[in-house]
Chain A
Amino acid sequence: MASNKNHAPKKNQEKTGLFEGLRKKCENFGKRFADGSLGTKLSHFIFGAGSFYHGQYVKGALFLLIQLGILAVMIFCPSINGTPYGWKALRNLPLNNVTEGGDFDPLTGQFTVGSDCKLMVLFGFVTIALIIIYFMVWNMNIQSSYQTDMDLKIGKKPNTFREDMRSLLDGKFHVLMLTPTCIAAAVFTILPTIFMIALAFTTYNSQDMNDLGTNLFHWNGLQNFRAVFTGEGSLGVEIKNRFMPVLGWTFLWAIFATLTCYFGGIILALLINKKGLKGKKVFRTIFIFTIAVPQFISLLAVRNLLGEYGPVNSLLQDWGITKEPIGFLGLHPSDSESLAKFMVILINMWVGIPYTMLMTSGILMNIPTDLYEAARVDGSSTMKMFFKITLPYVIFITTPYLISSFVGNINSFNTIFLLTGGGPTYTGYQAGGTDLLVTWLYKVTIDQGSYNTGAVIGIFTFLITATITLITYRRSKAYNEEDTFQ
C-alpha cells in the first residue's frame, strides 16, 4: 500500500525533465546556504563544521578527515612508480606533458626512467573519481547539517553517533549492505572498464612500444575505430581484413550454438522424463556428471581424443576410412576451416545440452497435465502434442534464458579457446578461422599487447551484446513487471 503511494509522485518528478531537476537542485543549494544555521553555512567550506556545531563530534571528525585526506592527495601528489596522483595527474592526463624516452632494461623488462603513460591515464581517472567523491561528501555533510537544523526547529534532538550507527542496521541497512560491493565494484570493475574504454582512443600498443623502448603513447581520437574500416595503423590491415569474417562467424556460432543446445536439451529432457521410463535418476546423474567436470578438463580431453595421433584418427585409419589423419579442429594452418567450425558447434552440443536438459526438466514437469488429456481426447498424435503444447510452453517460459544464452555464446571463450585455439590460423593474421570476437580480443591483448585494438574489439562486442539485450530484455515481462512481481 505504502509503496503505491510513493510511486505516483516519483513518476511525475521524472517527467518534469532534466532541466527542472537541475534547477530544483540549485535552488536547494541556495536555500540550504540561506536558511541553514552558522554550522550549515560553515559546512560549505569546512567538512563536518555543521556536525561539530550540533555536537556530533565523531561524525564531524569523519567528514573532516575525508576532506583533509582528499585535499592532501590533490595537493601533495603522492606517486607510485614515479607517476603522481593529484593535480599533477590531471595535468598529465592529456598525455602531452611526458618526459621523453625511458631506458628499457631488457633483463627486468622494466623502464627505469621516464613517464609511464598507462599509469598516467589510470591515476588520472582515479584522481577524477576522488574529485567526484569529494563533492559527494561535500553535499552529504551539508545535507546532514541542514537536516539537523530542521529537526531542531521542530524540537527533535540531533542524532548521536551511536544512533546513526544503529540506523545502519535498520532504516539505512541497504547502505551497510551495499557499501562493500560498491567500493569493490568501483575499483575492480568500473575503473578497469573505463580505463580499457579509454585505451581504445590511444596509440597504446605494447609491441610497438617495446620495439621503440618507450612507455609513451598518446591519444589519437577515433583512429582505431576508423582502422576497422580503412585499415590504417599498425594492426590496421589485419583488423580490416579479419573483422567482418570474425563478426559474421561470431553471429553464426552464437545462433547455431544456442539453437542446437536448446532444442537438443529439450529433446533430451523429454526422453529422460518419458512416462514409464525407469532409471530416470541414473540418466540424469550421468549428464549432470559431465557438467560437473571442469571445462578445461573435458574440452582438452575431447581435443586430444580428436587430435592427430589420438584414438579417433587411428581408428578411422584402421578402418580404412582415411589414409591421412583428419584435422578435425583446425590445429594446423592447412586444416579445413568449415570442418573445424562444424566440429566446434557439434562439440559445443556435448557441452551445452546437459545444461539445458537440467533446466527444462523442471519446466516440463510443471506443464498442466489437463492440456495433454484434452489433446488426447481430441485424438492428437504425440508429435502434434509436442509441437502444439510442449514446445510453445517451454519456449514461453525460457525466453529470457534463450536470450542470455545467446549473449553468453557470443562471449563463449572456453569452447573455442580450448578446442581449436581459434585455428586454423592464417599466416600473418592473429584471428584464425574459428576465432570469435572474445578469443580474438584475448589474443590481441594478452599475446600481442595491442591494448588499443583489443579495447576496440571489446567495445564492439559490448555494443552488440548490449543492443541485443536491451531490445529483448526491456520488452520482456521479467523487466517491465519486476516491481509487481516483487
Chain B
Amino acid sequence: MSTAGKKRKFSSQSRNRRISLGATYTVLSLLSVIWLIPLIWIVLSAFRCEYQPDGTFIGRVTSSFFPKQFGLKNFEDLFTATYYGVPKAFPRWMLNTLFIAIIDCIISTFLVLSVAYCMSKLKFKLRKPFMNISMILGLFPGFMSMIAIYFLLKSVGLTGNPSHPEYSVVGLILAYSAGAGLGFQIAKGFFDVLPNALVESAKLDGCTNFKIFRRIILPLSKPIIIYQALMSFTGPWMDFIFAKVIIGADNAKYWTVSVGLYSMLFGTHPDTNLFTQFAAGCVIVAVPIVTLFMFLQQYYVEGVTAGAVKG
C-alpha cells in the first residue's frame, strides 16, 4: 500500500471495504461457475436430443456446449435398452445397487459404531495393539488385497459361481462391509469428545456397559450414526473397481450402476455413441445422492471436521 493510500486509510475505509467485498463477490462467482461447468455440461448432455441430417441420433460428445435441441430420448433409451445382453439393464443395476447399499449401510454402520465405542470408552488389554494393527492394515493399498478377496470368495462359491451368479452380490456385500470396522477413527473421535463422566456416573448407578451404550451413548450419537450411514450408503454408488472385480466382467446382470455406466464408455464393447445416455444415467444416479448429501450436509461437515482435527 502506498503512503497516500495509508493517509486516506481511515477516511475511505468503508469504500475500501466495499471494493474488496465486490472483488470477493466477483472471484467467488467466477469460481462457482468454474466449479459447476462440468456438472452443468453433463446435465445438458443428458437432455441433448440432436439428429444428423440422415436421421441418426447423435449420442457422441459434440463440440457445442449447449445442445441445439432438448429431449428425453436419452432417458427413454436408458431405461429400455439392452446392455451387454441384459434386457432393461439400467433399472436392474439401480435396484442391485440399492439393495447392496442398504445392506452394506446397516452392517458397516453397526460394525463401525461398536468398534469405535470400545476403542473410546472401554479399557481392556488389547486396545492399543488393536488400534495399531488397524492403522497398519489401513496403509496397504486396497487394490492389493482386492484380488485376494476375489480368490477367497471364489473358493467358497460366493463369486464366479457358474450355477449361482447371483451369489456374487452376497460376495460384494461381504467385501464392502467386512473391513468397515477397521475404519472406526472418525467415530472414535466423536465418542472421545463425549464426557467420560456420563459413563462413570451411570456405572456408579449400576448400569452395565451394554445399557450405557444402548441408553446413554447411542441417543447422543445421532450425528455420527448419520455420517457413517451416509458414507457407507453412498459408497456402493460410487465404486466402479471393486464391484467389477468381485461381481465379474461377464456377469452384467448383477453389476452395480456405476460399473454399468463406466462400462458404457470403457467396457469390453465401448460405444462412443452412448455418451449422452451415459450422461442421463449419471444424472439419475447423482440426483438422489446429491439430495441426500444436501439434506444431511450438517452431519457430513461435522464428521469431516472431526476427522481432520484428530487425524
Contact = CB atoms under 8 A, between A and B. Distances in A.
The judgment on whether A and B are partners is: yes
Interface of A: 3, 6, 80-81, 83, 108, 118-119, 122-123, 169-171, 173-174, 176-178, 180-181, 184-185, 187-193, 195-196, 268, 271-272, 274, 276-277, 283, 285-298, 300-302, 304-305, 307, 309-311, 313-315, 350, 354-355, 358-359, 362-363, 381, 397-398, 400-401, 403-404, 407, 411, 413, 417, 437-438, 441-442, 445-446, 451, 454-455, 458, 461-462, 465-466, 469, 473, 476, 478, 485-486
Given A80-B156, A274-B21, A413-B241, A400 B124 contact: no
B122 A173 contact: yes
Contacts of B36: 286, 289-290
Given A193-B137, A458-B144, A462-B139, A271 B196 contact: no
B120 A486 contact: yes
A265 to B, nearest CB: 11
Interface of B: 1, 17, 21, 24-25, 27-28, 31-32, 34-39, 41-42, 60-65, 111, 114-115, 117-118, 120, 122-124, 130, 134-137, 139-149, 151-152, 155-156, 162, 174-175, 177-179, 181-182, 192, 196, 208-211, 213, 234, 237-238, 240-241, 245, 258, 261-262, 265, 275, 278-279, 282, 285-286, 289-290, 293-294, 297, 300-301, 304-305, 307-311
Nearest to A119: B155
A171 B301 CA distance: 35
Contacts of B137: 185, 189-190, 193
Given A277-B21, A277-B25, A193 B124 contact: no
A271 B238 CA distance: 30
Given A177-B114, A304-B61, 7 more contacts: A6-B123, A173-B213, A177-B115, A196-B147, A301-B38, A355-B304, A359-B308
A170 B209 contact: yes
B117 A177 contact: yes
Contact of A404 (B1, B148, B286, B311): B311
Contacts of A271: 24, 27-28
Given A122-B151, A400-B310, A485-B192, A180 B181 contact: yes
A478 B139 contact: no
A445 B155 contact: no
19 contacts: A123-B155, A173-B118, A173-B210, A178-B114, A189-B178, A196-B144, A277-B25, A286-B32, A290-B36, A290-B39, A291-B293, A292-B290, A296-B261, A310-B63, A311-B41, A362-B301, A363-B308, A400-B309, A462-B139
Contact of A476 (B61, B64, B311): B311
Given A293-B286, A293-B290, A478 B310 contact: yes
Contacts of B37: 305
B41 A301 contact: yes
Contacts of B301: 288, 358, 362
Contacts of B145: 189, 192-193, 195-196
A313 B115 CA distance: 51
B124 A174 contact: yes
Contacts of B245: 446
A123 B152 CA distance: 9
A397 B156 contact: no
Contacts of A359: 304-305, 308
A298 B293 contact: no
A450 to B, nearest CB: 11
Contacts of B286: 292-294, 297
Given A296-B258, A458-B141, A174 B178 contact: no
A195 B174 CA distance: 18
B311 to A, nearest CB: 3
A185 B64 contact: no
Contacts, number: 270
Contacts of A454: 144, 147
Contacts of A469: 135, 139
B241 A173 contact: no
Given A173-B210, A274-B24, A401 B308 contact: yes
Contact of B118 (A170, A177, A188, A272): A177
A445 B115 contact: no
Contacts of B136: 466
Contact of B289 (A191, A292, A438): A292
Contacts of B24: 271, 274, 277
Q: Which of A283, A311, A359 has the most CB of B within 10 A?
A: A311
B64 A311 contact: yes
Q: Which of B63, B64, B241 has the most CB of A within 10 A?
A: B63
A407 B141 CA distance: 11
B39 A272 contact: no
B241 A272 contact: no
A309 B65 CA distance: 11
A350 B265 CA distance: 23
A187 B179 CA distance: 9
Contacts of B309: 363, 397-398, 400-401
Q: Which 4 A-B pairs have the closest CB atoms?
A: A400-B311, A181-B181, A314-B63, A192-B148
B131 to A, nearest CB: 8
A441 B141 contact: yes
B175 to A, nearest CB: 6
B264 to A, nearest CB: 10
Contacts of A173: 118, 122, 208-210, 213
Contacts of A80: 155-156
Contacts of A354: 35
A455 B146 CA distance: 11
A349 to B, nearest CB: 10
Q: Which of A118, A171, A181 has the most CB of B within 10 A?
A: A181
Contact of A192 (B149, B156, B237): B149
A195 B148 contact: yes
B238 A178 contact: no
A275 B24 CA distance: 11
Nearest to B211: A169
Contacts of A411: 141-142
A305 B152 contact: no
Q: Which of B62, B139, B258, B285 has the most CB of A within 10 A?
A: B139
B285 A304 contact: no
B282 to A, nearest CB: 4
